[in-house]
Amino acid sequence: MEEEQDARKIRQRFLTNCEINGYLNEKTRALLAVSGGVDSMVLLDLMMEAQKKWGFFLAVTHINHQLREESVHEVAYLKKYCQQHQLPLQVEVWEKPTKKGIETAAREFRYQVFAKQMQSGSYDCLMTAHHGDDQMETVLMKLLRGGQLSTYAGIKEAQPFSNGRLIRPLLGFSKAQLYQYASERELVYFEDHTNQELDVQRNRLRHLVLPQLKQENPQAMVHFQRFSQQIQWADRLIQTHMKKVLMENVVEENERVHFPWKLLAEMPEEESYYFLYAFFDHFFEKTAIVIKEKQIQLILQQCQQKKGQWKITLERGWVLQRSYEKIYLIQEKADPSKTIQERTEAYKLELNQRIRLDESCWIGLFTPEAAEEARKVDDWDEFSHDLWLSSHQELFVGKRQAGERIQLNSKLKKKISRYLIDNKVPDSQRKEAWVVRDQNENIYSLVPFTYSYLSIGVETDKIHYILLYKYHKEAIGRRT
């Protein structure tokens, strides 16, 4: 069993945490995001207690996503509540909910609204009611998905946001403790029935996995929170050290970047590993290279060999090559005599990884859960659709070739060139089109215009994926 704490102890812990970390004082202008659920209603009650102590300015913001019938009652109650307690309330309505990626789209809308409100109201901080159980779920999701060290940190208690900070002061409290507080304080709150649906990964972890972990060790939530903090500290330490190493050893001149070969050869394996990730991250704006784990391992293997020269092809024409005492990052120029339609290079779509096609667009093949996270990367226009593939199928993205046809329905197969003409796609936009094919040259998508009939259909022997393409429409427009 988790440690039970009465409302008085919870309130005191909350106030102490805010004071020690400098979250609140008499000069604070705080904006509190309230959904109407138990978490945010508890935080609202605690913030009003804090306001009595410090006398800061407190305002409430609520987003009506119009996804549930109960939302009307939630808004009505919050308006009445805030009026009774003399709290400024801002309500924003999500006018056009989308059918695909609703969770991600709703989150993006919320934080866009919050950022604008932070600026217009000159607030110092945005408070949200994420708690310890949310942290456990997030860390587990990150571990299952895989990634770099920093991704395993989960939810940060405080981080820069808009013109101030985003603060989550309830991360040290469990969901059960918040329910207990709400019960003692006789708070009114609303339950979201969609949180019970097990077709969502987070809900499965919440209802099936977390109870087992807490049964194994009642202190599991505390340990997860400590793990998250330790990961954040370790990553910060690594980044600080690597920034110093980069500044001392990496030289950028004209169109190339280089560093001494001995730097990697003589480094301990763990240091060279993080150096390479820091190196490619540092030059991402210049190269748009999304480095992969297997590429890092290949580079490390090459550095341990005695060959004086070697070359590793990365993406978008960039190569990393050793020339005796130096390692260079260079972009090899494409043959200018070839038109876009004549280029034949294709990039393999690795699951849950983005491929930068150029500075203004990227594409990836994702599981539905990973697609939700990937959508958050860039605030660009989006083209996406479902794909059902066999386990042995591989997908590649490249430019369209002369004479290629796309299956538009069960009976109609049309030349891509004719499809673009029939749909009055300007010639400048046709040059920006990408084609997604499998290893047998079957076309699954004409990006960002339409998808093939081959991608449709739920079959028991096939796996559900999301093809996601994000592009900066204005940047593409300037090129054309």
Best CA proximity match to 366, nearest among 352, 386, 385, 349: 352
* Cα–Cα distance for residue pair 57/45, rounded to 1 Å: 15
- 162 assigned to a ligand binding site: no
Task: Specify which residues 39 forms β-bridges with.
Answer: none
Is residue 433 classed as helix, strand or coil in its secondary structure?
coil
Cβ count near 165 (within 10 Å): 17
Tell me the residue type at 158: A
- Give the pairing of strands 89-93 and 57-64: parallel
Cis before 448 (ω within 30): yes
DSSP code of residue 476: H
Kindly give the residue spans of alpha helices, DSSP state H, lying in 283-366: 284-287, 293-304
Please provide the distance, in angstroms rounded to a whole number, between the alpha carbons at the two ends of the chain: 63
- 38 assigned to a ligand binding site: yes
Q: Do residues 93 and 66 make contact, with C-beta atoms less than 8 angstroms apart?
A: yes
Q: Do residues 150 and 231 make contact, with C-beta atoms less than 8 angstroms apart?
A: yes
Contacts of 81 (CB under 8 A, 6+ apart): 87, 188
- 71 assigned to a ligand binding site: no
As a residue count, the chain comes to 480
Element (H, E) at 407: strand 405-407
Best CA proximity match to 319, nearest among 310, 327, 329: 329
Tokens standing for residue 12: 């005191």
Helix axes 175-185, 38-54, angle to 10 degrees: 70
**1 CA to centre of own chain:** 33
In the block, tokens 């130096």 appear at 326
Instruction: Count each helix (H run) and each strand (E run) in the chain, helices first.
Output: 17, 22
Backbone Cα Rg of the chain: 26
Tokens standing for residue 397: 């993205």
Q: Do residues 290 and 353 make contact, with C-beta atoms less than 8 angstroms apart?
A: yes
- 36 assigned to a ligand binding site: yes
| Binding site listing | 35-40
| Binding site listing for ATP | 35-40
